[in-house]
Amino acid sequence: MSKVLIIGAGGVGGVVTHKCAQLPEVFKEIILASRTEAKCKAIAAQLDRPIKTAQVDADNVPELVALLTQEKPDLVINVALPYQDLTIMDACLEAGVHYLDTANYEPLDTAKFEYKWQWAYQEKFEKAGLTALLGSGFDPGATNVFTAYLAKHYLDEVHELDIIDVNGGDHGYPFATNFSPEINIREVTAECRHWENGEFVTTPAMSKKARFTCPEGVGEYDIYRMYHEELESLAKHIPTLKRAQFWMSFSDNYLKHLEVLGNVGMTSIEPIEYNGQQIVPIQLLAKLLPDPSSLGPRTKGKTCIGCVARGIKDGKEKVVYIYNICDHQACYQEVKSQAISYTTGVPAMIGAKMMLEGKWLKPGVWNMEQFDPDPFLADMNEHGLPWKVIELDSFNLDH
């Protein structure tokens, strides 16, 4: 197996294509397809080896099936938008192709961040003898694998998990999002949910704040508790978890803009009628904001994303922190993209590599923590996302 079809030519699609192209022994043939083929061609022109490009509307199953039947890839790497997950999964089933994505399916009209629609495909993929790997980005993705790694090697039981995503980068714009504005704003404005004592507890968006000091001099940041989709699968697959929370850093400036945009209705996903046309405010806003794939050359600073797990080892309490630090400018030098797309695109390539090499191939629909974390994490060290584990003497975000 060695032929991949990448769907989506945005910030993440660019990185995945670069990283796959760097490994011709694994990815012998690459096709990059998207709604706007010109964007695929622009990415292809940056590479040292030739790849094919194609135009496809991933909302259209027959169109996808036609492309898959013509090209016969072994695997689809879906880095379009979460709205296309189910149509691409349907097409993969019809054409007999393995599937990977980096974000859970989202219906257009409601922001849910739930896996139920994709988990419902379990039997179909199993019967077809095909593997679907869900959420192979950084968070979800590497964070799920980090958690599985700590559970496998460092703790007998994981009781508390804090996933902390800090972006210490600055792109110099008054307001921009580092990945798809629509998805990013939906995520940040959604109510917070965290896992506590066997159930999800709901609190208002951005209502819990803490201060976190990143290792290796990356700095000290305000982080806010929010819901993130990996909490759902981790709570399901790591039954010893008593509490699981997700935190993300935001600058005061970002929050101020978001508050104003929210107050005037610009972040709404409810369509409004304007001059006889249906307009979804958040989609209009996304058009006005800088394209995330254009932030690369301007963004300076580092990201620090990792998981702090508290649990029991040999009868004693232990707290361990596993993290990666990634430099925006170093990413740009390598693949012409900032670290947010880079930290998503590299795990997508590694997930695909795991599948093509047969290490993570099992008929059905799987989240990342359900496979052996060791080969994946070995590849993160090899392919641009080195990580470290440290033991913490004390850790407390509850203040």
Residues near ligand NDP (CB under 6 A): 8-13, 34-36, 39, 56-59, 79-82, 84, 102-103, 135, 137-141, 179-180, 183, 292-293, 341, 344
Nearer to ligand NDP, 35 or 310 (CB): 35
3-state secondary structure of 274: strand
Report, in Å, the least distance between residue 7 CB and ligand NDP: 6
Give the residue at shortest CB distance from ligand NDP: 10
Q: How far is CA 317 from CA 239, 322, 391, in A?
A: 18, 17, 11
Report, in Å, the least distance between residue 278 CB and ligand NDP: 18
**Whose CA is closest to 3, among 32, 33, 29?**
29
Report, in Å, the least distance between residue 397 CB and ligand NDP: 21
Nearer to ligand NDP, 133 or 183 (CB): 183
Q: What are phi and psi of 392, to 5 degrees?
A: -105, 135
Nearer to ligand NDP, 57 or 196 (CB): 57
Report, in Å, the least distance between residue 79 CB and ligand NDP: 5
Give dist(CA 219, CA 384) in Å, integer. 21
Give dist(CA 285, CA 277) in Å, integer. 16
Q: Is the bond into 140 cis (omega within 30 degrees of 0)? A: yes
Total length of the chain:
399
Nearer to ligand NDP, 290 or 301 (CB): 290
Nearer to ligand NDP, 155 or 183 (CB): 183
Report, in Å, the least distance between residue 78 CB and ligand NDP: 8
Report, in Å, the least distance between residue 110 CB and ligand NDP: 16
Q: How far is CA 364 from the centre of its chain?
A: 20
3-state secondary structure of 333: helix
Nearer to ligand NDP, 135 or 296 (CB): 135
3-state secondary structure of 350: helix
What are the residues whose beta carbons fall under 8 Å from the beta carbon of 85, sequence distance 6 or more?
Answer: 78, 101, 103, 104, 105, 106, 117, 118
